[in-house]
Chain A
């Protein structure tokens, strides 16, 4: 039998490296699947809209708008990053406010009622 050359050892090293990488990816995938099955919350990111955050965390969207002092708009697609810019706040600060509002709107805390629509004569002197 011929002695193993450097090419053979290079192939062995490459094989071991790929097996290691594949194993770590497979483990990471299994961890993610386990996380997914427990249905934990998706971390809030600056790209998300308030509508998506409300959908993901199963809270009424008006709760999040109220927490940021904004009027509720169902078709609003502004991401958190843009809202933070508009309010001159850091993304992290805004996300922390949303997380607090979500914690207060979830069981055992009851979700606050949606804001009442203003009646035509509101604010007028009869």
Chain B
């Protein structure tokens, strides 16, 4: 039996308390099958084994709590480590640039990663904590994003309650496809910028 089967079997047997622990730990960063658990819990609600609102509330609270733990650990402990490393290797300027970017785009990153690319969430929590992204803003975007993630996935499980595995697989693949498109767009943009920078002196000489 795989670790995924074992974790989901624990959830099936123990219900909401197990769902809380599974979602919380996965949001802290341990790679647990949280999306499949959410879709499956929606299916169990459709079968009358759990109440839909209880499932959604428990999963939402667990997700928000897990994200706060990841953020606070990075902010309290990780920050000191990264500053030490950057000072040692002379990366202070790069750290400042990264922090500026996170302060500018962090809200969108937190919000979109919660429901569009959930596998990225723990990393965004850590980078937000490391960069001292303001906690009230982090909580605001985290709460809104997690509400969409939890309600969306649970309702999908409720609506397609007899095929939770394939629905969860589609959602997982879709998230990686979206992430791939974003990264490809970013790299493509960098390539175009590189090409223009390389072509510019030749153009200037010709002129």
* Co-assembled chains A and B: yes
Of A18, A33, A51, A78, most B-chain CB atoms within 10 Å:
A18
**Cβ of A91 and Cβ of B162 under 8 Å apart?**
no
For B72-115 the 0/1 string (1 means CB < 8 A from A) is 00000000000000000000000000000000000000000000
**Cβ of A79 and Cβ of B12 under 8 Å apart?**
yes
> A121 to chain B: closest CB distance in Å?
33
Q: How far is the CA of A10 from the CA of B1 in the complex (A)?
A: 40
Q: How far is the CA of A12 from the CA of B181 in the complex (A)?
A: 15
B188 proximity list for chain A (CB < 8 A) = 15
Which of B52-60, B123-131, B145-153, B191-199 forms contacts with chain A?
B191-199
Q: Which residue of A lies closest to B187 (CB)?
A: A15
**Known contacts A47-B12, A81-B5, A39 near B163 by CB under 8 Å:** yes
Q: How far is the CA of A58 from the CA of B183 in the complex (A)?
A: 42
> A30 to chain B: closest CB distance in Å?
9
**Which residue of the partner chain, among B49, B173, B191, B198, contacts A29 with CB atoms under 8 Å?**
B173
Q: How far is the CA of A12 from the CA of B177 in the complex (A)?
A: 19
Mark out the residues of chain A between 1 and 56 whose CB falls within 8 Å of any chain B CB in the assembled complex: 1-2, 4, 7-8, 11-12, 14-15, 18-19, 21-22, 25-26, 28-29, 32-33, 35-36, 39, 42-43, 45-49, 51-52, 55-56
Residue A106 at the chain B interface, CB threshold 8 Å: no
Q: How far is the CA of A80 from the CA of B40 in the complex (A)?
A: 15
**Which residue of the partner chain, among B47, B166, B191, contacts A11 with CB atoms under 8 Å?**
B191
Main secondary structure of the interface of B (DSSP, over half): helix
**Known contacts A22-B184, A29-B170, A12 near B161 by CB under 8 Å:** no
**Known contacts A29-B177, A45-B5, A91-B1, A19 near B184 by CB under 8 Å:** yes
**Cβ of A48 and Cβ of B12 under 8 Å apart?**
yes
> B168 to chain A: closest CB distance in Å?
10
**Known contacts A1-B202, A25-B176, A47-B8, A15 near B163 by CB under 8 Å:** no
**Cβ of A77 and Cβ of B199 under 8 Å apart?**
no
> A1 to chain B: closest CB distance in Å?
4
Residue A82 at the chain B interface, CB threshold 8 Å: yes
**Which residue of the partner chain, among B5, B15, B176, contacts A47 with CB atoms under 8 Å?**
B5
Mark out the residues of chain B between 26 and 61 whose CB falls within 8 Å of any chain A CB in the assembled complex: 40, 43-44, 47, 49
Chain A interface, number of residues (Cβ within 8 angstroms): 43
**Known contacts A22-B180, A47-B9, A51-B47, A42 near B187 by CB under 8 Å:** no
Q: How far is the CA of A28 from the CA of B201 in the complex (A)?
A: 44
**Cβ of B9 and Cβ of A79 under 8 Å apart?**
yes
**Cβ of B1 and Cβ of A82 under 8 Å apart?**
no
**Which residue of the partner chain, among B13, B163, B199, contacts A1 with CB atoms under 8 Å?**
B199
> A61 to chain B: closest CB distance in Å?
10
B198 proximity list for chain A (CB < 8 A) = 1-2, 4, 8
Additional pairs, 9, CB under 8 Å, beyond known A26-B177, A45-B5, A57-B162: A11-B194, A15-B191, A19-B180, A47-B11, A51-B49, A55-B161, A78-B12, A78-B13, A91-B1
Please list 24 pairs of residues, one from A and one from B, whose beta carbons are closer than 8 Å in the complex, sorted by A's number: A2-B202, A7-B194, A11-B187, A11-B191, A15-B191, A18-B180, A19-B184, A21-B176, A25-B180, A29-B170, A29-B173, A42-B162, A46-B5, A46-B9, A47-B6, A47-B12, A51-B49, A52-B12, A55-B47, A56-B162, A78-B13, A79-B9, A81-B6, A91-B1
